[in-house]
């Protein structure tokens, strides 16, 4: 058999570096809006009188924090709570990998849709009741339930079960992040900080370690060329039907067995933006010939098509994707800072944005799925401590000195 392979490859620089500013803004806007809404909810619903309110969840089942507990009791109890939470998350993620490996994708999508409906209906309904009570908005029970049901169903369908405008899907993803993040801010203070640090470390291990569950899930999806059923925010609209998958257009004009050329389709290590023409000629006795034209519309080799789950990565079209868990924990950090003062909120917000920018810059160079929590959470926690312990003391002292100086001038 005579095979002729013609390849015309064009090499180009990373498109992410060329549009890094635009990509940062497209991720920064929804992240900032999510954090802003959480701060508004915390400011409106959690006053100074009930700032210590909490609720029972799996993140606080091992230790219930009390203000009378000692420092070491709070520290050890918060560590125990976070360790238990991480263990549960790890087990569930490996179970998710197992289901995806067994091709139970409909079950995963159904579970994700049900989870979204529960968040929108129950958590959203309770927060709506708190807001209605806080601002004394009159509404009857039937109208409230009808609106809540429609809101939840439309959100579930737009995210998972039906094709909807990209702006509607993105909006509901942000709303889900806001609802979950608000309830996480009700956790005890020490448990919240321990949970944030633990989740950042877990994200680092789960995405980068060879046996990390998120890395296994991403690699499995890439090897199968499938989408991962997960709550993921995509920076810009992408047509899933033409999302950069490798498309083979086959033209046959022969009377022989077409299966003789099936082996020529297995070319994995191809360069970006390559147009490949494969001409296969049969033996002298046969007059059959086959020409395969394989435009590689993806800007990355197939092994580098990245899907983000609980990290930040590139979709097959080059669009940046951010896991909804990152939205949630960014907002939890800012919401916890809002329980203290707004100066701390500003410092934590700037730290998170700086960490997100560093992560996006690393993504532009490494072009692989990266954990989005570690850098931002590390900056946020550091700036929270520095602002609360140093900057606030400095600003208050300066303000007091200015007031004293002004009073002295008036007295003269």
The residues with which 278 forms a beta bridge, in sequence order, are 5, 292
341 catalytic? Reply is no
CB 298 within 8 A of CB 305: yes
Its sign, for the CA torsion 26, 31, 34, 37, is: negative
Angle at 222 between CA 304 and CA 229, to 5 degrees: 125
Catalytic residue from among 8, 203, 225, 286: 203
Cα 32 to its chain centre, rounded Å, is 13
- Cβ partners under 8 Å of residue 64, min gap 6: 77, 188
Greatest CA separation for the chain: 114
Which residues, 6+ apart, have CB-to-CB distance to 50 below 8 Å?
none
Query: Residue written as tokens 């400095």?
Result: 394
85, 329 contact by CB (below 8 A): no
Active-site pick, 140, 225, 326, 341: 326
Is 8 assigned a catalytic role?
no
How does strand 274-281 pair with strand 2-9? antiparallel
Residue 43 near residue 182 (C-beta atoms within 8 A): no
Catalytically annotated residues: 203, 326
């Amino acid at each position: 058999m005579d095979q002729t392979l013609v390849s015309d490859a064009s090499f180009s620089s990373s498109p992410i570096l060329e549009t890094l500013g635009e990509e940062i803004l497209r991720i920064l806007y929804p992240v900032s809006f999510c954090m802003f809404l959480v701060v508004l909810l915390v400011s409106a619903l959690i006053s100074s009188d009930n700032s210590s309110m909490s609720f029972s969840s799996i993140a606080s089942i091992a230790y219930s924090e009390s203000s009378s507990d000692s420092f070491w009791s709070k520290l050890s109890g918060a560590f125990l709570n976070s360790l238990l939470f991480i263990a549960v998350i790890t087990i569930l993620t490996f179970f998710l990998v197992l289901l995806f490996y067994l091709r139970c994708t409909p079950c995963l999508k159904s579970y994700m849709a049900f989870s979204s409906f529960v968040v929108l209906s129950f958590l959203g309904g309770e927060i709506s009741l708190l807001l209605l009570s806080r601002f004394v908005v009159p509404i009857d029970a039937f109208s409230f339930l009808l609106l809540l049901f429609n809101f939840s169903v439309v959100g579930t369908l737009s995210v998972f079960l039906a094709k909807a405008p990209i702006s509607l899907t993105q909006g509901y993803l942000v709303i889900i992040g806001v609802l979950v993040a608000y309830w996480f801010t009700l956790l005890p203070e020490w448990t919240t900080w321990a949970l944030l640090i633990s989740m950042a470390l877990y994200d680092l291990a789960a995405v980068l370690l060879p046996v990390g569950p998120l890395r296994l899930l991403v690699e499995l999806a890439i090897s199968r060329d499938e989408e991962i059923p997960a709550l993921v925010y995509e920076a810009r609209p992408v047509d899933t039907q033409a999302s950069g998958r490798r498309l083979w257009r086959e033209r046959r004009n022969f009377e022989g067995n077409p299966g003789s050329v099936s082996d020529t389709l297995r070319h994995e290590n191809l360069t970006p933006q390559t147009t490949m023409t494969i001409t296969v000629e049969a033996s002298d006795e046969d007059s059959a010939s086959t020409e395969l034209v394989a435009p590689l519309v993806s800007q990355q080799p197939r092994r580098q098509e990245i899907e983000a789950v609980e990290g930040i990565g590139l979709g097959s079209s080059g669009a940046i994707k951010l896991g909804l868990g990152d939205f949630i924990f960014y907002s939890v950090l800012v919401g916890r800072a809002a329980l203290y003062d707004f100066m701390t909120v500003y410092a934590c917000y700037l730290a998170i944005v700086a960490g997100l920018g560093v992560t996006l810059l690393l993504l532009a160079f490494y072009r692989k799925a990266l954990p989005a929590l570690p850098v931002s959470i590390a900056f946020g926690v550091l700036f929270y401590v520095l602002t609360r312990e140093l900057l606030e003391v400095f600003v208050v002292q300066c303000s007091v000195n200015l007031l004293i100086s002004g009073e002295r001038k008036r007295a003269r």
